[in-house]
A and B are shown apart, each in its own frame.
Chain A
Amino acid sequence: EAGVAQSPRYKIIEKRQSVAFWCNPISGHATLYWYQQILGQGPKLLIQFQNNGVVDDSQLPKDRFSAERLKGVDSTLKIQPAKLEDSAVYLCASSLELRGLGEQYFGPGTRLTVT
């Protein structure tokens, strides 16, 4: 079974530039999550989708971050414009169902550096 795929793995941009991350979840997984993990901290949920609907985006900075999952499969997360404090690893995860056994499968992440 293929795991969660993310690209790119690394990205360096200057502040005020835009960046986009892509995620393809495990086949058949209805729920998809985007997390931000700052060095030395736990993952912080930005947004979670159930199929192509948003379940929770309460911690997504909507003035600069946006995410979509148009066909209920893969997803993109965009930052526009980026700030220095956005430097972090962006993790995508998926799970078979919304409120199952708590098991999320994480992708390798995208390490973003904003200079």
Chain B
Amino acid sequence: GQSLEQPSEVTAVEGAIVQINCTYQTSGFYGLSWYQQHDGGAPTFLSYNGLDGLEETGRFSSFLSRSDSYGYLLLQELQMKDSASYYCAVRSRDDKIIFGKGTRLHILP
């Protein structure tokens, strides 16, 4: 079957850098997306990798390696407001959308 694996929780210190990994098992997909969701809120789009390599958007960067079935989200200069759940997601070649189970990011002052 198709699945996305993420760590359930990650803890980091304010001002630091953290990487959230996403490994996947899917036969083919269009690209890897990342979403942020605060408690009680809706998911908000962060980043998309259609091609291998690094995409940078402000403090957030995302990376994709199709050959390694692996991607990650990199958050720099962590702020307390970055405490949230982060999801990777793909659209498969047969148009099925799969979300990972999410990574809960805890930030310590």
Contacts and interface: CB of A to CB of B under 8 A. Distances in A.
Interface of A is mostly: loop
Interface of B is mostly: strand
Interface residues of A, number: 23
Interface of A: 33, 41-45, 48, 55-56, 58, 91, 93, 98-99, 101-109
Given A99-B30, A101-B50, A102-B33, A41 B101 contact: yes
A101 B48 contact: yes
Interface residues of B, number: 23
Given A99-B30, A102-B50, A102-B89, A33 B97 contact: yes
A104 B32 CA distance: 12
Given A42-B100, A56-B96, A58-B96, A102 B43 contact: no
A106 B44 CA distance: 7
Contacts of A102: 30-33, 45, 48, 50, 89, 91
28 contacts: A41-B101, A42-B87, A42-B99, A42-B101, A43-B43, A43-B99, A45-B96, A45-B98, A55-B95, A56-B94, A56-B95, A58-B96, A91-B42, A91-B43, A99-B30, A99-B95, A101-B31, A101-B50, A102-B31, A102-B32, A102-B48, A102-B89, A102-B91, A103-B33, A104-B33, A106-B43, A106-B44, A108-B41
